[in-house]
């Protein structure tokens, strides 16, 4: 039971906290976070702290408050609201503007809060004596676990504090005191099955709920990271030039949040969505003036302009090219390197190739030279040899759904021949612009003659237990009787990666095929790569995710009654529109590029979300959710749910490809608007 002195002191603290602008205040004990040491140790041992060595150096003091100050008896945790007055994600669609994290759009919160905490601490000492220490994210204090223990909220799956009363937009500060105060009850977790914060993360920074890999977090990459931003994350950063609010903004508990009432934390108008062109022009002096008093100032001009250059490269805004080119002469290697990447995205292939041919030789910094050489397509584009567009002839073994999309998209550029097993499909191939030939596992004279004229060979037939049917039938012909052959493309599947527990994978990740068909795919990939090495021709392996497009999509499935919303918590699938398969194929073939490329869109997503989004476009109710455990599925369909991974697409983007449909929403919206979602023929959205 509280003593009258304790109650009086508590009332004083609460009154002073309200007067100082804090939304919430609560009390806990220094021994109230017993799980924190093990969790922090795991975070560090996994390397999730990245280059933030100050975390590793202070593990014990950080996890145990009494190790920081043995005299502490009570910890007062205070929260100040910095909620935005609009959705901070709106600016992400304005690619000529920069997105600055909400917390950094005005005064540095450390400066705002620390003085007020000191005032409250002074009142505590005046009232009760003893000693106090004040911390605002400036010492090894684990504010979020302490806030949870004090009952202010709970650490959500994104590892940030969530409050039922105030949402996610809270700054935390602590007052350590020698006074004995009655602790509050801890808060419990209210996240339930929600994954909104996890699934919205552009870079997949959450390997599991409640675990953050800072090395993949955009806030870390743009703020704490002192070197070049890793290439695999650059396109995913978009126009986020300082921090990221996606996981915070996605939290449904923010329906209880309100805009910040503290004027010093309300957004400055010129920091809401500043033009990239103006930020790129900042020299060091102008940077310091513009960001005076802002947290942005602490990373320095060079790191900030590095971030803005990444946004410029992602903008597609050619008007930024002149100022980006000027930054190639910046004194900072960090800035010059980022400018190279931005220009690789803003200039045409020919312009960039011409620039690189001279500028790379003149560069004296080794890391910047690596940036020139890391754009894979530029040497090939600058020095490409081979047939002209008019001389190219494509041959596709297995001219199915994706092959027809390729032929339709490129019919005006080069002739395309393709095979099917049954003559009944000849007419469908011809209507797609494909010269139709039959392949039943044996190489006919007609096929041999067509192959002899082929410059670019595409294989879209799956292997079977006897091996790859094309290699079995045509290996010797490819080796000795295709004098015009320049390039081979093999359409494989991301199924070769198998199950990675929802983690991100790229072309360097281990293949762990689960199904027999995927095991055979891995073997076939290796055989085609081996053949390419033997004949000295580039082989591109395109690992495709789930294919959709006209006639094969959630809109069509809803119309014919086959759409189901199966729910398996944490399960995502990767997707690719057939037109993007066609585009990626054409890019690789045009430039005779070899290697392994994941051809998948930017957003792995739960399958039930796709069906729900399609239903929304159609103005109908989505089908009810069905738990995966009780769903009636064929063995093959069930096997797909045995693999869970998020597939990166950085390699194909680095080769120069820009996705027409970067996610399922863009594709469904386009097909619905154009009325070609049934079979590719434009018509009214719904049948009359």
What would you report as the CA-atom Rg of the chain, rounded to the nearest whole angstrom? 29
DSSP bridge partners of 167: 163
Question: Got the DSSP string for 212-248?
Answer: --GGG-HHIIIII--SPPPHHHHHHHTTEEE---HHH
Contact 413, 389 (CB under 8 A): yes
Tokens 């399958």, residue?
Answer: 607
DSSP bridge partners of 618: none
How far, CA to CA in Å, does 501 sit from each of 247, 516, 633?
20, 19, 21
Torsion sign (Cα): 23, 222, 100, 305: positive
Question: Got the DSSP string for 90-139?
Answer: GGGG-TTB-EE-GGGSSS-HHHHHHHHHHHHHHHHHHHH-S-EEEESSSS
The Cα 48–Cα 32 span in angstroms is 24
CA angle 95, 99, 103 (to 5 degrees): 170
Here the tokens at position 495 are 């199924």
- Residue 137 a catalytic site member: yes
Number of Cβ atoms within 10 Å of the Cβ of 307: 27
The Cα 322–Cα 233 span in angstroms is 25
Pick the catalytic residue: 96, 137, 317, 602?
A: 137
6-14: long-range contacts (C-beta < 8 A, 24 or more apart)?
A: 6/180, 6/181, 6/182, 8/127, 9/124, 9/127, 9/128, 9/179, 9/181, 10/181, 10/182, 12/123, 12/124, 12/127, 13/76, 13/120, 13/123, 13/124, 13/181
Q: Tell me phi and psi for residue 492, to 5 degrees.
A: -110, -155
Here the tokens at position 61 are 């003091």
Give the active site residues: 137
């Amino acid at each position: 039971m509280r003593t009258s002195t304790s109650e009086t002191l508590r009332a004083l603290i609460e009154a002073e906290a309200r007067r100082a602008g804090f939304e919430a205040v609560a009390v806990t004990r220094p021994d109230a976070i017993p799980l924190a040491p093990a969790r922090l140790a795991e975070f560090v041992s996994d390397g999730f702290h990245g280059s933030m060595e100050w975390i590793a150096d202070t593990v014990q003091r950080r996890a145990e408050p009494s190790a920081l100050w043995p005299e502490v008896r009570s910890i007062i945790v205070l929260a100040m609201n910095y909620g935005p007055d609009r959705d901070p994600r709106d600016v992400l669609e304005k690619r000529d503007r920069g997105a600055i994290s909400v917390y950094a759009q005005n005064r540095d919160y450390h400066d705002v809060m620390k003085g007020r905490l000191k005032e409250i601490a002074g009142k505590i000492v005046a009232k009760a004596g003893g000693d106090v220490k004040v911390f605002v994210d400036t010492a090894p204090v684990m504010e979020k676990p302490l806030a949870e223990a004090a009952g202010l909220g709970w650490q959500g799956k994104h590892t940030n504090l969530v409050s039922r009363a105030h949402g996610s937009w809270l700054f935390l500060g602590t007052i350590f005191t020698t006074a004995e105060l009655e602790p509050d009850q801890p808060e419990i977790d209210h996240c339930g099955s929600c994954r909104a914060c996890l699934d919205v993360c552009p870079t997949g920074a959450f390997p599991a709920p409640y675990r953050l890999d800072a090395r993949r977090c955009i806030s870390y990459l743009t703020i704490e990271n002192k070197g070049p931003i890793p290439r695999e994350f650059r396109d995913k950063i978009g126009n986020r030039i300082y921090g990221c609010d996606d996981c915070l903004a996605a939290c449904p508990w923010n329906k209880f949040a309100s805009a910040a009432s503290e004027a010093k934390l309300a957004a400055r108008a010129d920091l809401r969505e500043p033009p990239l062109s103006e930020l790129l022009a900042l020299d060091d002096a102008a940077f310091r003036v513009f960001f005076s008093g802002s947290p942005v100032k602490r990373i320095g001009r060079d790191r900030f302009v590095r971030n803005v250059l990444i946004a410029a490269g992602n903008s597609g805004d050619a008007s930024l090219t002149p100022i980006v080119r000027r930054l190639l002469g910046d004194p900072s290697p960090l800035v010059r390197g980022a400018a190279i990447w931005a220009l690789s995205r803003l200039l045409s292939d020919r312009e960039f190739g011409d620039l690189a041919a001279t500028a790379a030789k003149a560069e004296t910094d080794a890391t910047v030279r690596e940036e020139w050489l890391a754009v894979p397509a530029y040497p090939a584009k600058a020095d490409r040899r081979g047939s002209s567009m008019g001389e190219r002839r494509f041959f596709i073994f297995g001219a199915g759904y994706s092959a027809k999309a390729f032929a339709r998209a490129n019919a005006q550029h080069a002739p395309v021949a393709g095979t099917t097993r049954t003559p009944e499909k000849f007419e469908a191939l011809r209507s797609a612009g494909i010269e139709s030939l039959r392949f039943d596992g044996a190489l006919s004279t007609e096929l041999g003659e067509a192959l002899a004229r082929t410059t670019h060979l595409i294989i879209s037939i799956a292997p079977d237990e006897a091996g790859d049917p094309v290699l079995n039938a045509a290996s010797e012909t490819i080796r000795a009787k295709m004098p015009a052959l320049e390039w081979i493309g093999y359409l494989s599947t991301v199924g070769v990666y198998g199950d990675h527990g929802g983690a991100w994978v790229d072309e360097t990740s281990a293949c762990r095929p689960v199904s027999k068909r995927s095991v055979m795919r891995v073997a076939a990939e290796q055989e085609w790569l081996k053949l390419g090495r033997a004949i000295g021709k580039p082989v591109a392996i395109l690992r495709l995710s789930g294919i959709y497009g006209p006639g094969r999509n959630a809109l069509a499935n809803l119309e014919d009654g086959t759409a189901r919303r199966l729910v398996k918590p944490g399960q995502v699938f990767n997707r690719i529109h057939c037109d993007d398969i066609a585009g990626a194929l054409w890019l690789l073939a045009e430039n005779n590029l070899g290697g392994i490329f994941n051809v998948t869109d930017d957003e792995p997503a739960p399958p039930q979300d796709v069906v729900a989004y399609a239903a929304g476009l159609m103005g109908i109710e989505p089908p009810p959710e069905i738990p995966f455990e009780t769903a009636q599925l064929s063995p093959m369909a069930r096997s797909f749910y045995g693999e869970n991974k998020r597939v990166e697409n950085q390699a194909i983007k680095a080769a120069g490809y820009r996705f027409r449909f970067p996610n399922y929403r863009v594709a469904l919206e386009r097909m619905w608007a154009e009325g070609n979602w049934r079979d590719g023929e434009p018509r009214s959205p719904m049948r009359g």
